[in-house]
Amino acid sequence: MTESKLSQQLAADSLEIGTQVYSSRLIVGTGKYPSEDIAEKAINFSGAELVTLALKRFDKGESSENILRPIGNKNLLPNTAGVLTADEAIRSAHISKELFKTNLLKLEIISSAANLDPNMEETLKAARSLSKEDFEIYVYCDRDIDNCKKLEDMGCVAIMPLGSSIGSGRGFDNLIDLEKLRSQISQVLIVDAGLGVPSEASTVMEMGYDAVLVNSAIAQAKDPTRMAESFKKGVEAGRLAYLAGRIPVSDKAKASSPTSFLK
Amino acid sequence: MSKLQINLNGEVVELNSNNLSDLVVHKAPKDRPFAIEINGIIVPSSDFDNFKLTNNDRIEIITAVGGG
């Protein structure tokens, strides 16, 4: 297959999440970039069509940086970052809908400001409530199968277990759990949080994950633009490998050349 | 009219006008979208012109910031 045919195959392999269709399987965050210009370049090089962003009080005295400028015309996925309870998340969701004129929502309820892992009790409560409205919920969650199934049953359009702690760059705390989840969850599955390098994105894409969400690993890299492009390629490589189908893992050697000489 | 005292983004502020639209002109961003919540209720932008503020209103002006 020629390179252009491979590109065509990837382009045709669209990702449907709720009412949206994407050709890119990399979602990027917009926090922690050194500057708006670097954010703009990195977001463009990532090829992402969906980007996350957050809410804050407007402070007239603060810098005039406007995160919406580097995002351009990408689809917005506002998050509920910083909230600790279902009530706060629901409030954040309604503000986001008014502010960004979108019903896409990344539901994210952390355990505490120091422990950014998801608070699942509050997450389930918020998802139950918000799913009765017209939100398309992308939910940040733990790797527990029962929790993920509940979120799937509530109609969340994307289930997003963490790879490891937010911003840690540690990759995976438990790859086996992520693999088990893929076999049990039929809804869109996205690894969110903790990825550090593109090979980790490839690994979960090879397992059949639908997409990955990356922020810190790109924004805080020495060269965010290059890292954005590397994640783009890592995600594409992993997806292609998944579609190609890996060979069965064997504990025995299996020769790919003749096993005896000139016979 | 006498001055109005409100809480804007967590700080006490005195206003000369009770028109929300005046507050928007002076305190809201001009170069980016924003939302306004008053006493925990979102006020749609279409209501800004007619909305009257009262003493001790808790007002949040919210905009976007980078996030993951």
- B61 reaches A (C-beta below 8 A): yes
Question: Which domain covers residue A14, as residue numbers?
Answer: 3-244
In a domain, A258, yes or no: no
Give the H or E element holding residue B11: strand B11-15
> How many Å apart are CA A8 and CA A246, to the nearest integer?
21
- B30 reaches A (C-beta below 8 A): no
In a domain, A10, yes or no: yes
In a domain, A253, yes or no: no
Compute the CA torsion angle A163, A176, A22, A68 (nearest 10 deg): 0
Stretch A180-189: mean pLDDT: 97
Compute the CA torsion angle A98, A104, A110, A113 (nearest 10 deg): -50
Per-residue pLDDT tens for B16-58?
A: 999 999 999 999 998 889 999 999 999 999 999 999 999 999 9
Strands A20-22 and A15-17: antiparallel
Nearest to B62 among A55, A79, A166 (CB): A55
Give the H or E element holding residue A59: none
Question: How many domains does the structure of chain A reveal?
Answer: 1
CATH code given to domain B4-62: 3.10.20.30
In a domain, A262, yes or no: no
pLDDT at A93 over 80: yes
Per-residue pLDDT tens for A236-247?
A: 999 999 999 999
In a domain, A257, yes or no: no
Chain B residue at shortest CA distance from A99? B35
Per-residue pLDDT tens for A96-108?
A: 999 999 999 999 9
In the stretch 102-161 of chain A, residues with CB closer than 8 A to chain B read none
In a domain, A256, yes or no: no
Q: Do B42 and A216 touch (CB under 8 A)?
A: no
Q: Which residues in chain B touch residue A36, judged by CB atoms under 8 angstroms apart?
A: none
Q: pLDDT over 90 for what percent of chain A?
A: 85
Residue A256, number of CB atoms within 10 A of its CB: 6
Annotated catalytic residue, options A106, A125, A222, A254 = A106
Stretch A190-205: mean pLDDT: 97
In a domain, A261, yes or no: no
pLDDT at A173 over 60: yes
> How many Å apart are CA A118 and CA A161, to the nearest integer?
9
Active site residue A125: no
Strands B41-43 and B35-38: antiparallel
Q: Is the dihedral of CA A30, A208, A150, A170 positive or negative?
A: negative
In a domain, A252, yes or no: no
Q: CATH number for the domain including A32? A: 3.20.20.70
